């Protein structure tokens, strides 16, 4: 029985969601100091998975295909879309700020952060101090920002341990926003390969 277009799109969507999970897990758990090494591993990972997706979709359609062509086409799409995207994020991190205050904030807005913020700011005030994290960025300006906040809101100066914990939250917010940004770029890179497969252009 031939696979319908809707079934192919469903399979593709599921595989693409799996790729997104891999990207987010990679950013969340693998902390590599060198940006070149971290991004290099990520590019290879995306290339291998998108190539595998192309092969799976082509196999599902039931047409003959060249495995080498699948890897080559995905290498081109990842090289043209994802690599420049990572370079832009590295050179201009401000581009990802919108994702930091939405998707990034979603990942860190929890009770653990709330407990930390109430040790820095006066508890019991009718204000969600977690929101202040949206004004903090992973660019070395965290302490400067805290110094500019009204002293009336601060319980006391944060300890070195609290400052380190807060920096970890801010860093996690940044990495999750980058994962979201890269995931969007991966959609474009993957579609460059998916559409020719569906329309059997190679």
pLDDT tens-digit readout, 60-81:
877 666 788 889 989 999 999 9
pLDDT value of position 153: 55
pLDDT digits (tens, 9 = 90+) for 137-156: 877 677 777 777 654 455 55
Per-residue pLDDT averaged across 74-103, rounded?
Answer: 88
pLDDT value of position 195: 78
pLDDT digits (tens, 9 = 90+) for 9-67: 888 999 999 999 999 999 988 888 788 899 999 999 999 999 999 888 888 877 666 78
- Measured distance between the N- and C-terminal CA atoms of the chain, rounded to whole angstroms: 22
Query: What percent of the chain shows pLDDT beyond 70?
Result: 84
**pLDDT at residue 198 greater than cutoff 90:** no
**Distances, alpha carbon 154 to alpha carbons 16, 19, 85, 151, in Å:** 45, 42, 39, 5
The residue with greater pLDDT, 52 or 128, is: 52
Say how far apart CA 201 and CA 155 lie, in whole Å. 65
Burial class from Cβ neighbours inside 10 Å (0-12, 13-18, 19+) for residue 111 reads exposed
Read off the tokens for 143. Answer: 């302490």
Burial class from Cβ neighbours inside 10 Å (0-12, 13-18, 19+) for residue 5 reads exposed
pLDDT value of position 189: 92
**Domain residue ranges of the chain, discontinuous segments joined by +:** 5-93+182-198, 98-173
**pLDDT at residue 104 greater than cutoff 80:** yes
**pLDDT at residue 122 greater than cutoff 70:** no
């Amino acid at each position: 029985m031939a696979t319908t277009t809707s079934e192919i799109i469903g399979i593709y969507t599921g595989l693409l969601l799996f790729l997104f999970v891999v990207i987010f897990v990679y950013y969340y758990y693998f902390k590599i100091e060198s940006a070149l090494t971290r991004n290099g591993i990520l590019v290879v990972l995306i290339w291998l998975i998108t190539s595998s997706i192309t092969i799976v979709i082509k196999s599902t359609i039931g047409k003959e295909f060249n495995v080498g062509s699948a890897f080559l086409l995905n290498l081109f799409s990842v090289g043209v879309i994802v690599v420049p995207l990572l370079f832009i994020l590295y050179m201009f991190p401000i581009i990802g700020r919108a994702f930091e205050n939405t998707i990034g904030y979603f990942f860190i807005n929890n009770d653990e952060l709330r407990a930390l913020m109430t040790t820095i700011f006066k508890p019991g005030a009718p204000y969600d101090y977690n929101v202040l994290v949206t004004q903090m960025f992973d660019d070395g300006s965290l302490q400067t920002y805290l110094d500019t906040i009204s002293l009336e809101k601060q319980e006391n100066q944060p300890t070195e341990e609290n400052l380190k914990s807060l920096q970890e939250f801010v860093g996690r917010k940044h990495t999750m926003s980058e994962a979201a940004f890269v995931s969007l770029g991966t959609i474009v890179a993957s579609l460059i390969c998916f559409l020719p497969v569906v329309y059997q252009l190679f």
